[in-house]
Chains A and B, each alone.
Chain A
Amino acid sequence: MEFILNPWPWYISGPLIAFVMAILLYFGKTFGMSSSLKTMCSALGANKFSDFFRFNWKDQRWNLTIVIGAIIGGFIAIQFLSNHTKTDLNPTTITELQQMGFENPGATLVPNEMFSFESLTSIKAIILLIIGGLLVGFGTRYASGCTSGHAITGLSSLQKQSLIAVIGFFIGGLIMTNFILPLIFKA
């Protein structure tokens, strides 16, 4: 049981993620989490505004079911399968984040400074969440895929478009983490 309750090592987790891709391909579907956003837009009436959302979203209900499952999975994992070990971050990472004003790096899955209810009273935190969401939603559709579709499915099927997209993910991620986050969270 200890093995389940402790964080899982990368060499177990990676192949399990590949298993999710494999089983979805076996079911005749694809592993692409961001498509659910497009489906929800269409279901919410975005088809009135753009051809892009004009498709039968009901054919994509399987994808929305995975979303519901993922939410339940997150709940099960944190409630029943976790001993709430602190994330074993690099000490340098912890020091850096503390200098940027993050109180307890790794104690939670996300920093309270951005995501806790107390933070939601701060305009800054809300704006960051909104900008982050907008960038992810817009970027993933522009690039026609996210981590699951490009980094996992696209790279394991050796598609050069996915390699370009993943290079883009890293350009954006490196700029944000190394140059913009230090400006937002100035010590």
Chain B
Amino acid sequence: MKYLKFLLVGIFFGIVLVKSEAVSWFRIYEMFRFQSFHMYGIIGTAIVTGLLFLQISKRKHFKNIIGEQIDAPKKEEGFIRFIVGGTIFGLGWALIGACPGPMYILLGTGVYSMIIVIIAALLGTFLYGILKSKLPH
């Protein structure tokens, strides 16, 4: 039962990303060619809505279910990891047209070859874990 709410959030997230076409490889291509406003509209309104929510929760001291102040997690310090890691991620995102959320969602829509992508992504994550200490952050 404890997990039911997360299952429902996942289902909702999957439906929204399919219905918004954010899981479409073609929409990602179009975005990186600056040929459509659609994806910028989605990401932009998500950020603005999220920003309003976080600002209001800060001012009104909204608490989460365990009674702590609602706030976004703080990112680690650094520069190289964000710019280099981000660029590597972006290369993959534009190639397969899917970031981690859509990989799973597309699998649910019947794109079974996503299993190959997910396994490769697990391998990529594993490689990072192995090489972490040797990489500049």
Residues of A within 8 A of B (CB): 4, 7-30, 33-34, 36-38, 40-41, 44, 46, 49-50, 52-53, 61-63, 65-78, 81-82, 87, 89-90, 92-93, 96-97, 105-106, 109-111, 114-117, 119-120, 126, 128-148, 150-159, 161-162, 164-178, 180-181
- Whether the pair B6, A13 counts as a contact (CB closer than 8 A) is no
A to B contact number (C-beta, < 8 Å): 501
Residues in B whose Cβ lies below 8 Å from that of A9: 41
- Whether the pair A93, B36 counts as a contact (CB closer than 8 A) is yes
Interface class of chain A by DSSP: helix
Q: Which of B11, B57, B114, B126 is within 8 Å of A72, CB to CB? A: B11
* Binary interface encoding of chain B residues 36-57 relative to chain A, with 1 for a CB under 8 A from any of its CBs, else 0: 1111011111111111011001
Q: A17-B16, A74-B106, A74-B108 are in contact. Are A93 and B35 (CB under 8 A)?
A: yes
Q: A8-B20, A136-B92 are in contact. Are A89 and B49 (CB under 8 A)?
A: no
- Whether the pair A10, B108 counts as a contact (CB closer than 8 A) is no
- Name 6 interchain pairs, CB-CB below 8 A, sorted by A: A49-B130, A50-B129, A70-B17, A89-B27, A129-B117, A175-B91
How many residues of B sit at the interface, in one of the four size bands?
A: 35 or more
The chain B residue sitting closest to A40, CB to CB, is B122
Q: Which of A23, A27, A128, A168 is within 8 Å of B86, CB to CB? A: A168
The chain A residue sitting closest to B76, CB to CB, is A144
- Whether the pair B124, A110 counts as a contact (CB closer than 8 A) is no
- Whether the pair A136, B11 counts as a contact (CB closer than 8 A) is no
- Whether the pair B84, A168 counts as a contact (CB closer than 8 A) is yes
Residues in B whose Cβ lies below 8 Å from that of A13: 16, 19-20, 22, 42, 45-46
- Whether the pair A135, B92 counts as a contact (CB closer than 8 A) is yes
Q: A28-B64, A78-B110, A87-B21 are in contact. Are A138 and B127 (CB under 8 A)?
A: yes
* Binary interface encoding of chain B residues 9-39 relative to chain A, with 1 for a CB under 8 A from any of its CBs, else 0: 1111111111111111111111111011111
Residues in A whose Cβ lies below 8 Å from that of B17: 17, 70, 73-74
The chain B residue sitting closest to A105, CB to CB, is B26
Given contacts A72-B7, A169-B90, 13 further A-B pairs with CB under 8 A are: A9-B41, A14-B20, A18-B50, A21-B46, A25-B71, A41-B129, A61-B3, A137-B121, A141-B125, A142-B81, A156-B46, A157-B72, A175-B94
Q: Cα distance A71–B118 when bound, in Å? A: 13
Residues in A whose Cβ lies below 8 Å from that of B68: 28
The chain B residue sitting closest to A142, CB to CB, is B85
The chain A residue sitting closest to B8, CB to CB, is A69
Q: Cα distance A104–B22 when bound, in Å? A: 18
The listed residue with most A CB atoms (<10 A of its CB), out of B113, B122, B126, is B126
Residues in A whose Cβ lies below 8 Å from that of B33: 93, 96, 177-178
